[in-house]
Protein backbone atom coordinates (compact mmCIF):
# COMPACT_ATOMS: atom_id res chain seq x y z
CA UNK A 1 0.00 0.00 0.00
CA UNK A 2 2.81 2.39 0.91
CA UNK A 3 4.62 1.52 -2.31
CA UNK A 4 1.46 2.30 -4.32
CA UNK A 5 1.05 5.69 -2.60
CA UNK A 6 4.74 6.48 -3.05
CA UNK A 7 4.59 5.65 -6.78
CA UNK A 8 1.51 7.88 -7.18
CA UNK A 9 3.27 10.76 -5.45
CA UNK A 10 6.32 10.34 -7.71
CA UNK A 11 4.12 10.20 -10.82
CA UNK A 12 2.17 13.31 -9.83
CA UNK A 13 5.40 15.13 -9.08
CA UNK A 14 6.81 14.24 -12.48
CA UNK A 15 3.63 15.33 -14.27
CA UNK A 16 3.55 18.53 -12.27
CA UNK A 17 7.17 19.18 -13.14
CA UNK A 18 6.51 18.64 -16.84
CA UNK A 19 3.51 20.94 -16.77
CA UNK A 20 5.41 23.69 -14.91
CA UNK A 21 8.27 23.34 -17.39
CA UNK A 22 5.79 23.53 -20.25
CA UNK A 23 4.43 26.78 -18.83
CA UNK A 24 7.79 28.43 -19.40
CA UNK A 25 8.63 27.00 -22.81
CA UNK A 26 6.95 25.63 -25.91
CA UNK A 27 8.72 22.83 -27.76
CA UNK A 28 9.17 22.67 -31.52
CA UNK A 29 10.58 19.56 -33.19
CA UNK A 30 11.27 19.04 -36.85
CA UNK A 31 13.30 17.70 -39.72
CA UNK A 32 14.92 19.17 -42.82
CA UNK A 33 14.60 17.49 -46.21
CA UNK A 34 16.64 18.24 -49.34
CA UNK A 35 15.31 17.57 -52.82
CA UNK A 36 18.26 15.29 -53.63
CA UNK A 37 18.30 13.49 -50.25
CA UNK A 38 21.68 15.03 -49.38
CA UNK A 39 20.59 16.26 -45.98
CA UNK A 40 24.00 16.78 -44.42
CA UNK A 41 25.61 20.18 -43.76
CA UNK A 42 22.36 21.93 -42.92
CA UNK A 43 22.61 24.94 -40.62
CA UNK A 44 19.66 26.18 -38.57
CA UNK A 45 19.59 29.43 -36.61
CA UNK A 46 16.88 30.64 -34.26
CA UNK A 47 16.43 34.37 -33.79
CA UNK A 48 14.40 35.84 -30.96
CA UNK A 49 13.81 39.42 -29.93
CA UNK A 50 17.47 40.13 -29.25
CA UNK A 51 19.51 36.95 -29.69
CA UNK A 52 20.40 34.45 -32.42
CA UNK A 53 21.54 30.91 -31.63
CA UNK A 54 22.58 27.91 -33.71
CA UNK A 55 20.36 24.87 -33.22
CA UNK A 56 22.03 21.45 -33.05
CA UNK A 57 21.20 19.28 -36.08
CA UNK A 58 21.40 15.47 -35.93
CA UNK A 59 22.87 13.24 -38.65
CA UNK A 60 19.32 12.65 -39.92
CA UNK A 61 18.72 16.43 -40.03
CA UNK A 62 16.33 16.47 -37.07
CA UNK A 63 16.27 19.39 -34.68
CA UNK A 64 14.39 20.71 -31.65
CA UNK A 65 13.96 24.06 -29.95
CA UNK A 66 12.22 25.46 -26.90
CA UNK A 67 10.51 28.81 -27.31
CA UNK A 68 9.32 31.25 -24.69
CA UNK A 69 5.67 32.22 -24.71
CA UNK A 70 4.47 35.50 -26.22
CA UNK A 71 7.52 35.92 -28.43
CA UNK A 72 8.12 36.07 -32.17
CA UNK A 73 10.88 33.85 -33.54
CA UNK A 74 12.48 33.23 -36.90
CA UNK A 75 13.90 29.83 -37.90
CA UNK A 76 16.48 30.14 -40.67
CA UNK A 77 17.40 27.01 -42.67
CA UNK A 78 20.59 27.15 -44.73
CA UNK A 79 22.57 24.77 -46.94
CA UNK A 80 25.24 25.58 -49.51
CA UNK A 81 23.77 25.60 -53.01
CA UNK A 82 20.19 25.72 -51.72
CA UNK A 83 17.68 28.52 -51.29
CA UNK A 84 17.65 29.73 -47.69
CA UNK A 85 14.25 29.53 -46.01
CA UNK A 86 12.96 31.56 -43.08
CA UNK A 87 9.93 30.50 -41.07
CA UNK A 88 8.25 32.85 -38.63
CA UNK A 89 6.90 31.29 -35.42
CA UNK A 90 4.72 33.32 -33.07
CA UNK A 91 4.08 31.95 -29.57
CA UNK A 92 1.62 34.71 -28.65
CA UNK A 93 -1.55 33.20 -27.21
CA UNK A 94 -4.71 34.90 -25.88
CA UNK A 95 -5.21 35.19 -22.15
CA UNK A 96 -7.20 32.36 -20.67
CA UNK A 97 -5.94 29.73 -23.11
CA UNK A 98 -4.02 26.84 -21.64
CA UNK A 99 -0.31 26.33 -22.24
CA UNK A 100 -0.84 22.57 -22.20
CA UNK A 101 -0.34 22.14 -25.97
CA UNK A 102 1.39 19.35 -27.86
CA UNK A 103 4.82 20.19 -29.37
CA UNK A 104 4.74 21.47 -32.93
CA UNK A 105 6.25 19.42 -35.77
CA UNK A 106 8.04 21.70 -38.23
CA UNK A 107 9.21 19.87 -41.38
CA UNK A 108 11.10 21.91 -43.96
CA UNK A 109 11.94 21.13 -47.59
CA UNK A 110 14.98 22.82 -49.18
CA UNK A 111 15.49 23.09 -52.93
CA UNK A 112 18.44 24.01 -55.13
CA UNK A 113 19.16 27.58 -56.13
CA UNK A 114 17.74 28.03 -59.64
CA UNK A 115 18.30 30.57 -62.40
CA UNK A 116 16.11 33.58 -61.90
CA UNK A 117 15.71 33.10 -58.14
CA UNK A 118 15.01 36.35 -56.29
CA UNK A 119 17.22 36.07 -53.20
CA UNK A 120 15.73 39.26 -51.77
CA UNK A 121 12.32 37.58 -51.76
CA UNK A 122 13.66 34.76 -49.56
CA UNK A 123 14.85 37.22 -46.93
CA UNK A 124 11.19 37.28 -45.88
CA UNK A 125 9.49 34.31 -44.19
CA UNK A 126 8.18 31.63 -46.56
CA UNK A 127 5.76 30.42 -43.88
CA UNK A 128 4.18 31.77 -40.70
CA UNK A 129 3.05 29.68 -37.74
CA UNK A 130 0.71 31.14 -35.13
CA UNK A 131 -1.76 30.11 -32.40
CA UNK A 132 -5.32 29.63 -33.62
CA UNK A 133 -7.73 30.04 -30.73
CA UNK A 134 -10.53 28.30 -32.66
CA UNK A 135 -8.63 25.01 -32.47
CA UNK A 136 -6.59 25.83 -29.35
CA UNK A 137 -3.40 24.84 -31.18
CA UNK A 138 -0.68 26.16 -33.44
CA UNK A 139 -1.14 26.13 -37.21
CA UNK A 140 0.42 27.68 -40.30
CA UNK A 141 -1.02 30.60 -42.23
CA UNK A 142 -2.18 28.68 -45.31
CA UNK A 143 -3.23 31.74 -47.32
CA UNK A 144 0.19 33.33 -46.79
CA UNK A 145 1.88 30.05 -47.80
CA UNK A 146 -0.13 29.87 -51.02
CA UNK A 147 0.94 33.39 -51.93
CA UNK A 148 4.58 32.38 -51.39
CA UNK A 149 4.19 29.25 -53.53
CA UNK A 150 2.55 31.34 -56.25
CA UNK A 151 5.52 33.74 -56.23
CA UNK A 152 8.08 30.90 -56.33
CA UNK A 153 6.30 29.22 -59.24
CA UNK A 154 6.37 32.50 -61.15
CA UNK A 155 10.13 32.76 -60.56
CA UNK A 156 10.66 29.25 -61.91
CA UNK A 157 8.37 29.90 -64.86
CA UNK A 158 10.42 32.91 -65.91
CA UNK A 159 13.80 31.27 -65.28
CA UNK A 160 16.19 31.49 -68.20
CA UNK A 161 17.01 27.77 -68.15
CA UNK A 162 14.84 25.01 -66.75
CA UNK A 163 14.96 21.25 -66.47
CA UNK A 164 12.75 19.42 -69.00
CA UNK A 165 9.17 19.09 -67.78
CA UNK A 166 6.78 16.20 -68.17
CA UNK A 167 3.95 17.19 -70.49
CA UNK A 168 0.47 16.99 -69.02
CA UNK A 169 -3.00 17.54 -70.37
CA UNK A 170 -6.24 18.16 -68.54
CA UNK A 171 -8.14 16.06 -71.09
CA UNK A 172 -5.71 14.35 -73.52
CA UNK A 173 -3.13 11.76 -72.49
CA UNK A 174 0.36 12.07 -74.04
CA UNK A 175 2.34 9.15 -75.46
CA UNK A 176 4.89 7.45 -73.29
CA UNK A 177 8.55 7.95 -74.02
CA UNK A 178 11.11 5.18 -73.65
CA UNK A 179 12.27 6.65 -70.34
CA UNK A 180 8.66 6.72 -69.10
CA UNK A 181 8.22 3.04 -69.98
CA UNK A 182 11.47 2.21 -68.22
CA UNK A 183 10.35 4.10 -65.12
CA UNK A 184 6.99 2.28 -65.14
CA UNK A 185 8.76 -1.07 -65.49
CA UNK A 186 11.01 -0.28 -62.52
CA UNK A 187 8.05 0.92 -60.49
CA UNK A 188 6.15 -2.29 -61.28
CA UNK A 189 9.14 -4.33 -60.17
CA UNK A 190 9.34 -2.41 -56.90
CA UNK A 191 5.60 -2.80 -56.35
CA UNK A 192 5.69 -6.59 -56.83
CA UNK A 193 8.65 -7.02 -54.49
CA UNK A 194 7.19 -5.19 -51.50
CA UNK A 195 6.88 -7.64 -48.61
CA UNK A 196 7.37 -5.73 -45.37
CA UNK A 197 6.77 -2.30 -43.85
CA UNK A 198 10.29 -1.02 -44.50
CA UNK A 199 10.01 -1.85 -48.21
CA UNK A 200 6.57 -0.22 -48.35
CA UNK A 201 7.97 2.94 -46.81
CA UNK A 202 10.83 2.89 -49.33
CA UNK A 203 8.30 2.67 -52.16
CA UNK A 204 6.31 5.58 -50.77
CA UNK A 205 9.53 7.61 -50.61
CA UNK A 206 10.32 6.73 -54.23
CA UNK A 207 6.85 7.80 -55.37
CA UNK A 208 7.13 11.01 -53.36
CA UNK A 209 10.36 11.89 -55.16
CA UNK A 210 8.69 11.20 -58.52
CA UNK A 211 5.72 13.34 -57.58
CA UNK A 212 8.02 16.19 -56.53
CA UNK A 213 9.52 16.15 -60.04
CA UNK A 214 6.12 16.69 -61.64
CA UNK A 215 5.47 20.31 -62.52
CA UNK A 216 1.79 20.91 -61.86
CA UNK A 217 0.28 24.24 -62.90
CA UNK A 218 0.79 26.97 -60.27
CA UNK A 219 -1.91 27.42 -57.67
CA UNK A 220 -4.21 30.38 -58.06
CA UNK A 221 -3.98 33.30 -55.67
CA UNK A 222 -7.57 32.76 -54.52
CA UNK A 223 -9.97 29.81 -54.61
CA UNK A 224 -13.61 30.84 -54.24
CA UNK A 225 -15.15 27.43 -53.63
CA UNK A 226 -14.91 25.48 -50.40
CA UNK A 227 -13.51 22.54 -52.39
CA UNK A 228 -11.84 22.66 -55.80
CA UNK A 229 -10.84 19.46 -57.60
CA UNK A 230 -8.26 19.62 -60.40
CA UNK A 231 -7.29 16.66 -62.62
CA UNK A 232 -4.01 16.27 -64.56
CA UNK A 233 -2.89 13.52 -66.95
CA UNK A 234 0.81 12.73 -67.32
CA UNK A 235 2.48 10.13 -69.53
CA UNK A 236 2.52 7.50 -66.78
CA UNK A 237 0.28 8.85 -64.03
CA UNK A 238 -2.90 10.75 -63.23
CA UNK A 239 -2.85 13.34 -60.43
CA UNK A 240 -5.89 14.67 -58.58
CA UNK A 241 -5.27 17.91 -56.70
CA UNK A 242 -7.89 18.92 -54.12
CA UNK A 243 -7.83 22.43 -52.66
CA UNK A 244 -9.99 22.79 -49.56
CA UNK A 245 -10.80 26.24 -48.18
CA UNK A 246 -11.85 26.60 -44.56
CA UNK A 247 -12.13 30.01 -42.90
CA UNK A 248 -9.89 31.51 -45.62
CA UNK A 249 -7.24 28.84 -44.97
CA UNK A 250 -6.24 26.34 -47.61
CA UNK A 251 -5.36 22.67 -47.36
CA UNK A 252 -4.07 20.82 -50.42
CA UNK A 253 -4.28 17.05 -50.91
CA UNK A 254 -3.04 14.99 -53.84
CA UNK A 255 -3.78 11.52 -55.17
CA UNK A 256 -1.28 10.04 -57.64
CA UNK A 257 -2.48 7.08 -59.70
CA UNK A 258 0.22 5.30 -61.72
CA UNK A 259 -0.48 3.47 -64.96
CA UNK A 260 0.93 0.27 -63.42
CA UNK A 261 -1.69 0.36 -60.65
CA UNK A 262 0.03 2.05 -57.70
CA UNK A 263 -1.94 4.76 -55.86
CA UNK A 264 -0.34 7.20 -53.39
CA UNK A 265 -1.70 10.06 -51.32
CA UNK A 266 0.01 13.26 -50.21
CA UNK A 267 -0.60 16.53 -48.41
CA UNK A 268 1.09 19.55 -49.94
CA UNK A 269 2.33 21.72 -47.10
CA UNK A 270 4.23 24.06 -49.39
CA UNK A 271 6.56 25.71 -48.96
CA UNK A 272 7.48 23.26 -46.20
CA UNK A 273 7.19 20.25 -48.48
CA UNK A 274 5.00 17.41 -49.72
CA UNK A 275 4.39 14.53 -47.31
CA UNK A 276 2.65 11.18 -47.70
CA UNK A 277 -0.68 10.53 -45.93
CA UNK A 278 -2.92 7.49 -45.60
CA UNK A 279 -5.74 6.69 -47.99
CA UNK A 280 -8.29 6.99 -45.18
CA UNK A 281 -7.07 10.49 -44.26
CA UNK A 282 -7.25 11.59 -47.90
CA UNK A 283 -10.79 10.25 -48.26
CA UNK A 284 -11.96 11.71 -44.96
CA UNK A 285 -10.62 15.17 -45.71
CA UNK A 286 -11.55 15.38 -49.41
CA UNK A 287 -14.70 13.25 -49.59
CA UNK A 288 -13.21 11.58 -52.69
CA UNK A 289 -13.21 7.79 -52.75
CA UNK A 290 -11.72 5.31 -55.18
CA UNK A 291 -14.14 3.29 -57.30
CA UNK A 292 -13.41 0.13 -55.32
CA UNK A 293 -15.11 1.79 -52.32
CA UNK A 294 -18.00 3.52 -54.09
CA UNK A 295 -19.14 0.27 -55.67
CA UNK A 296 -19.99 -1.22 -52.29
The 10s digit of each residue's pLDDT in 241-273 is: 999 987 767 889 999 998 888 888 888 877 667
Question: Once rounded to an integer, what is the mean pLDDT over residues 270-277?
Answer: 76
The H or E element spanning position 114 is: none
What is the percent of the chain with per-residue pLDDT over 90, rounded to a whole number? 30
Average pLDDT over residues 154-165: 64
Q: Which of 98-102, 161-165, 207-211, 291-295 has the highest mean pLDDT?
A: 98-102
Q: What span, in angstroms and rounded, lies between the C-alpha atoms of 156 and 165?
A: 12
Confidence band, pLDDT 50/70/90 cuts, at residue 15: very low
Distance in angstroms (rounded) separating the CA atoms of residues 234 and 173: 7
Distance CA 164, CA 16 (A): 57
Could you give phi then psi for residue 20, rounded to 5 degrees? Answer: -65, -40
Looking at residue 144, what is its pLDDT? 84
Distance, CA of 279 to CA of 257 (rounded, Å): 12
Q: Is the pLDDT of residue 172 over 90?
A: no
pLDDT tens digits along 92-135:
998 877 657 889 999 998 988 888 888 888 999 999 999 988 77
Sort 197 into a burial class: Cβ within 10 Å, 0-12 / 13-18 / 19+: exposed
What is the chain's Cα-based Rg? 22
Residue 277, SS3?
coil
Right CATH for 2-140 from 3.40.50.10890, 3.40.50.1820, 3.40.50.300, 2.60.40.1120: 2.60.40.1120
91: how many CB neighbours lie within 10 A of its CB? Answer: 21
Provide the residue ranges of all domains of the chain, joining segments of one domain with +.
2-140, 178-294
Lowest mean pLDDT among 68-72, 77-81, 114-118, 245-249: 245-249
Q: Over the chain, what is the mean pLDDT?
A: 75
Strands 85-90 and 127-132, how do they pair? parallel
- Helix (H), strand (E) at residue 51: none
Cβ(187)–Cβ(194) under 8 Å? no
Quick: pLDDT tens for 34-60. Answer: 877 667 789 999 999 889 999 999 988
H helix runs in 119-253, sequence order: 142-157, 178-193, 197-213
Omega before 271 within 30 of 0, i.e. cis: yes
Amino acid sequence: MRLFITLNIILLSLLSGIYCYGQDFYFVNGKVFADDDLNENVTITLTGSSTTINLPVTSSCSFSAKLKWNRRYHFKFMKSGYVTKIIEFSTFIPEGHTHRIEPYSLNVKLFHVFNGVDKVFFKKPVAKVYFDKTINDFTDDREYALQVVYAINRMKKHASTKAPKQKYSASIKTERTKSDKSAVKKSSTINSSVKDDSQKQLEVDVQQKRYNKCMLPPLKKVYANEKTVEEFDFADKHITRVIIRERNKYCIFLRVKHSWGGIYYFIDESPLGVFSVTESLFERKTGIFDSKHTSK
